[in-house]
């Protein structure tokens, strides 16, 4: 299958590479020319714009950092909606349900079907092809495209309503963000009291407190102080903020999530949006005047 792919960043590049590995051909675009080089070296065709990608492929996938960028790439001047060949738009980004619904409505007027298919599993999952792919959109398009999507991970079909995939992703990322925030506070408390950080992680992971942060982020990036997990603080804050905005629109109370958002806001402000999100622990460490390390 010939596919278009836009956005070859930390997540997009390994997903696009998996599609090439599976035998698909690609027309690719990224605002950074250096990001295109590994793909053109493998036979992909570099396009000059999003519209050019959408004029070369019937199915275009995007992996982009923010809702505003996704909207612009999909609907803006020289965007995907201006393409002459595209019939299906697949958004692998995290944008929120309302943006997904807006894009789906506008693209439908141009006879383009929009599907939201956000992914979870991080850069490591993208490289291994083990992402969770949360798809919503017309069932027939899902069925036709499922083999290609299975190149990047395990596919879950959530329904035909635009935005259901995005809502699932926000719920998942809220839990991930919460696990990270509360694990940092618990670990700092224990170290301040005299516990060994490495032993703490072992005990937690053998008991009922284990979670994605203690099982993956702490051993790999926090205890060795490498802070190299590969996901940006700004993106995590964006996801939590989006989730609370959707909850408010639905009339769902989010008392715990509101506190989680405050800690991620602090991390985003103090550490910068481009910092690795595992550095959030430094915000808690500074207040307690301790350091959590192996």
Give the residue numbers marked as catalytic.
169
Query: Which residues touch 255 (CB under 8 Å, ≥6 apart)?
Result: none
What tokens appear for 244 in the block?
Answer: 């609370």
What tokens appear for 277 in the block?
Answer: 């999100």
Query: Which residues touch 81 (CB under 8 Å, ≥6 apart)?
Result: 54, 74, 75, 106, 107, 110, 112
What long-range pairs does 104-113 form, CB within 8 A, spacing at least 24?
104/137, 104/162, 104/163, 105/162, 106/74, 106/75, 106/81, 107/74, 107/75, 107/80, 107/81, 110/81, 111/87, 112/80, 112/81, 112/86, 112/87, 112/88, 113/87, 113/88, 113/89, 113/137, 113/138, 113/141
Query: DSSP label at 44?
Result: P
Query: Which residue has tokens 């298919």?
Result: 117
| Helix/strand number for the chain, H first, E second | 13, 9
């Amino acid at each position: 299958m010939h596919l278009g792919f836009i956005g070859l960043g930390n997540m997009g590049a390994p997903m696009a590479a998996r599609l090439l590995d599976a035998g698909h051909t690609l027309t690719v675009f990224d605002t950074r020319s250096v990001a295109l080089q590994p793909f053109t070296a493998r036979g992909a065709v570099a396009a000059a714009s999003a519209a050019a990608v959408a004029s070369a492929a019937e199915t275009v996938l995007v992996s982009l950092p923010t809702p505003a960028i996704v909207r612009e790439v999909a609907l803006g001047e020289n965007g995907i909606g201006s393409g002459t060949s595209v019939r299906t738009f697949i958004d692998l980004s995290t944008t929120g349900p309302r943006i997904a619904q807006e894009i789906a409505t506008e693209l439908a007027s141009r006879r383009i079907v929009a599907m939201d298919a956000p992914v979870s599993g991080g850069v490591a999952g993208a490289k291994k092809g083990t992402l969770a792919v949360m798809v919503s959109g017309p069932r027939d398009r899902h069925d036709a495209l499922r083999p290609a999507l299975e190149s990047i991970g395990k596919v879950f079909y959530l329904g035909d309503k635009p935005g259901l995939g995005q809502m699932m992703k926000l719920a998942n990322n809220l839990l991930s963000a919460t696990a990270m925030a509360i694990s940092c506070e618990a670990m700092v408390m224990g170290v301040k009291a005299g516990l060994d950080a490495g032993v703490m992680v072992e005990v937690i992971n053998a008991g009922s407190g284990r979670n994605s942060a203690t099982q993956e982020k702490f051993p790999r990036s926090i205890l060795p102080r490498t802070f190299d997990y590969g996901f940006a603080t700004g993106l995590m804050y964006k996801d939590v903020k989006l989730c609370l905005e959707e909850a408010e629109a639905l009339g769902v109370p989010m008392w715990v999530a509101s506190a989680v958002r405050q800690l991620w806001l602090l991390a985003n402000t103090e550490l910068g949006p481009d910092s690795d999100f595992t550095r959030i622990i430094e915000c808690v460490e500074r207040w307690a005047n301790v350091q959590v390390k192996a």
